[in-house]
């Protein structure tokens, strides 16, 4: 009996000291974009995922370029980003396994109601950028290597304009996230490129309006990528796969579709079932 009592005490000691640590370790790190965070999407669907799986998701919100770098360094388990070119390179170089498309929306051009560049209702984003440059109307860039900034650079390139050279008096780089850039645009009456979700969630609009959009070039695809555990053995592969599988499942896709602001959807699920 004494031996049995000693064994039980030893077992309880193990449970007391090991179980809390194990429970506290039941999380994954998600590197994602400031646009998904600013939209409120994570606050909506992450508690639903955690309630169903017991897995906590800790988010590092940064521009897509920085999120990809975080993945390269092994400082995240999974990525949710929106730059096809950068994502393909990330996977090709062996930093990520697979790429699962999960949802989309689009980019829009925001500007002051008086619209000094005259771009209102244009469905050609390149033509709108050319008109902004021709008018030397103030344009505020994220300047942070985010997916939005990468899209903006591609539009300037297609317009055959280098605003960093030709626009020193009207083109400014903020080096910050989408919500902050919209706040700065509201304060200065500047044009900017925004993802639609952050714009719909943005409250401090002041004199800003959505002036131009609808160009197929502005399609904005979000994808999930598992950080390669062969590069970084500490990656929580199984838990990260559960997150990816849930996001791309019918339940996860329905949760994304149900997320709305004032009745309007911010993201549209499009994972292959």
State pLDDT tens for residues 128-160: 999 999 999 999 999 999 999 999 999 999 999
Strands 139-141 and 171-173, bridge-based pairing: parallel
Question: Maximum CA pair distance of the chain?
Answer: 91
Note whether 42 and 86 are within 8 A (CB). no
Residue 123: predicted pLDDT: 96
Q: For residues 154 and 61, what is the distance between their CA atoms, to the nearest angstrom? A: 23
State pLDDT tens for residues 16-53: 333 333 345 799 999 999 889 889 999 999 999 999 99
Give percent above pLDDT 70 in the chain. Answer: 90
Residue 169: predicted pLDDT: 87
pTM of the model: 0.85
Domains 2-104+221-269 and 106-218 alike in fold: yes
State pLDDT tens for residues 259-273: 999 899 999 999 986
Q: For residues 226 and 17, what is the distance between their CA atoms, to the nearest angstrom? A: 31
Asked whether residue 238 carries a pLDDT value surpassing 70, the answer given is yes
Indicate the fold that domain 2-104+221-269 takes in CATH.
D-Maltodextrin-Binding Protein; domain 2 (3.40.190)
Residue ranges of domains in the chain:
2-104+221-269, 106-218
**More confident site: 1 or 50:** 50
Q: What is the mean pLDDT of residues 171-175?
A: 94
Q: What is the mean pLDDT of residues 5-24?
A: 37
**More confident site: 1 or 190:** 190
Asked whether residue 125 carries a pLDDT value surpassing 50, the answer given is yes
Q: What is the mean pLDDT of residues 64-69?
A: 95
Q: What is the mean pLDDT of residues 254-262?
A: 95
DSSP string of 89-122, one letter each residue: HHHHTTSEEEEEEEEEEEEEEEEETT-TT--TT-
Task: Spell out a b/e string for 146-176, using b for 16 or more CB atoms within 10 Å of the CB, else e.
Answer: bbbbbbbbebbeebebebeeebeebbbebeb
Q: DSSP letter at 41?
A: H
Arch. (CATH architecture) of 106-218? 3-Layer(aba) Sandwich (3.40)
């Amino acid at each position: 009996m004494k031996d049995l009592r000693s064994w039980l005490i030893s077992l309880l000691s193990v449970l007391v000291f090991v179980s809390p640590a194990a429970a506290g370790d039941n999380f994954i790190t998600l590197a994602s974009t400031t646009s998904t965070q600013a939209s409120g999407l994570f606050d909506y669907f992450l508690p639903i995922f955690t309630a169903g799986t017991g897995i906590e998701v800790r988010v590092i919100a940064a521009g897509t370029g920085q999120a990809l770098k975080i993945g390269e360094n092994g400082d995240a388990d999974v990525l949710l980003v929106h730059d096809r070119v950068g994502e393909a390179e990330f996977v090709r170089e062996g930093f990520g396994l697979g790429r699962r498309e999960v949802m989309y929306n689009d980019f829009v051009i925001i500007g002051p109601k008086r619209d000094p560049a005259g771009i209102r209702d244009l469905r050609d984003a390149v033509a709108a950028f050319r008109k902004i440059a021709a008018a030397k109307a103030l344009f505020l860039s994220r300047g942070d290597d985010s997916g939005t900034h990468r899209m903006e650079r591609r539009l300037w390139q297609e317009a055959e304009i280098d605003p960093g050279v030709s626009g020193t008096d009207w083109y400014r780089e903020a080096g910050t996230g989408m919500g902050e850039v919209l706040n700065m645009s509201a304060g200065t009456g500047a044009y900017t490129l925004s993802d639609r979700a952050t714009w719909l969630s943005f409250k401090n609009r002041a004199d800003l309006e959505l002036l131009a959009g609808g160009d197929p070039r502005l399609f904005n695809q979000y994808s999930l990528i598992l950080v390669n555990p062969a590069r970084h053995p500490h990656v929580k592969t199984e838990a990260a796969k559960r997150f990816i599988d849930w996001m791309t499942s019918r339940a996860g896709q329905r949760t994304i579709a149900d997320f709305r602001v004032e009745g309007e959807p911010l993201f549209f699920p499009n994972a292959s079932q």
